[in-house]
């Protein structure tokens, strides 16, 4: 059974339009963070969808995907090497990046710029 309090809150949000406002805000922030990433890295490095909280990033041949995943923790970015998603096949040299990990837009922008510098060797 769903919690009565949670159900009441959700019903109120839907009936008053707050749920739509929250969804629009989340989509706006997600789009902004995705633009930071796509502005920072060339298109061939990034695979993501418009409202997706995650992106698949190809690692540079000069830097190991596991090293990038470890590095990302220092920027409050959630990242996971492709190994975790592959069973019985050789994993691609890539990692999954969580765009929602940074606490603010500014932190997300700084993190994506630093990530591009790491991957592209700038």
Say what the pLDDT of residue 20 is.
98
Say what the pLDDT of residue 103 is.
82
Domain interval for residue 67: 4-120
Say what the pLDDT of residue 113 is.
92
Joined tokens for residue 18: 């707050």
CATH of residue 40's domain is 3.90.1150.10
Say what the pLDDT of residue 29 is.
93
Say what the pLDDT of residue 102 is.
79
Residues 6+ away with beta carbon under 8 Å from 99? 30, 33, 34, 37, 48, 52, 53, 54, 55, 108
Say what the pLDDT of residue 49 is.
86
Residues 6+ away with beta carbon under 8 Å from 109? 36
Say what the pLDDT of residue 18 is.
98
Say what the pLDDT of residue 60 is.
77
Say what the pLDDT of residue 74 is.
84
Number of domains in the chain: 1
Other CB atoms closer than 10 Å to residue 54's CB: what's the count? 17
By residue count, the chain amounts to 122
pTM of structure: 0.81
Q: Profile the chain (122 residues) by mean pLDDT over runs of 10 residues.
A: 94 98 94 93 91 88 87 86 92 90 88 91 77
Say what the pLDDT of residue 61 is.
76
């Amino acid at each position: 059974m769903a919690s009565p309090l949670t159900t009441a809150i959700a019903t109120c949000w839907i009936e008053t339009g707050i749920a739509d406002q929250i969804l629009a805000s989340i989509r706006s922030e997600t789009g902004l963070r995705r633009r930071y990433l796509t502005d920072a890295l060339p298109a061939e490095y990034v695979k993501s969808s418009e409202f997706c909280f995650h992106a698949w990033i190809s690692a540079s041949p000069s830097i190991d995907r596991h090293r990038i995943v470890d590095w990302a923790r220092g920027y409050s970015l959630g990242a996971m090497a492709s190994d975790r998603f592959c069973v019985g096949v050789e994993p691609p040299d890539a990692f999954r990046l969580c765009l929602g990990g940074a606490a603010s837009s500014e932190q997300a922008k700084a993190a994506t710029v630093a990530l591009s510098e790491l991957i592209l060797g700038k």
